[in-house]
């Protein structure tokens, strides 16, 4: 991976990070509004509970992605970005375009997924 490509992925990661931070703030304020709004109707309350659970799941997912992005950014600084952590081969650009915070190449990712489940 050359310098320009590395800069491009850094930009992508930073943009994504910004977007996630915005999303999390939005989710949190929405959840806050829902919780503070007065509800007497049972049906409404049920809907709110489901919505809140969904939002919390989304927030958790985004927080996890945020950690992965932070990690990828630290690897850019260390000069180890785009190198598979398992086989130490370079991760393909096409794969990184789909998932810029990828830690493993496609082959290793499959192995990791099989062993962690």
Residues lying near Zn ion in the complex (CB under 5 A) are found at 84, 86-87, 105, 108
Sign of CA dihedral 16, 20, 26, 30: positive
Minimum distance of Zn ion from residue 86's CB (angstroms): 5
Identity of the residue, 73 or 108, whose beta carbon is nearer to Zn ion in the bound complex: 108
Query: What is the rounded CA–CA span in Å between residue 57 and residue 44?
Result: 20
Nearer to Zn ion, 21 or 111 (CB): 111
Q: How far is the CB of 104 from Zn ion (least distance, A)?
A: 5
The least distance separating Zn ion from the CB of residue 91, rounded to whole angstroms, comes to 7
DSSP 87: T
- Judged by DSSP in three states, 84 sits in coil
């Amino acid at each position: 991976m050359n310098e320009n490509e590395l800069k491009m992925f850094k930009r992508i990661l930073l943009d994504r990070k910004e977007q996630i931070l915005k999303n999390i703030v939005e989710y949190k304020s929405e959840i806050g509004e829902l919780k503070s709004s007065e509800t007497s109707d049972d049906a409404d309350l049920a809907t709110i509970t489901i919505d809140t659970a969904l939002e919390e799941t989304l927030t958790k997912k985004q927080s996890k992605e945020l950690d992965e992005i932070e990690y990828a950014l630290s690897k850019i600084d260390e000069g180890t970005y785009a190198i598979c952590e398992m086989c130490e081969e370079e991760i393909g650009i096409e794969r990184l375009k789909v998932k810029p915070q990828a830690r493993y190449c496609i082959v290793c990712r499959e192995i990791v997924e099989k062993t962690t489940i």
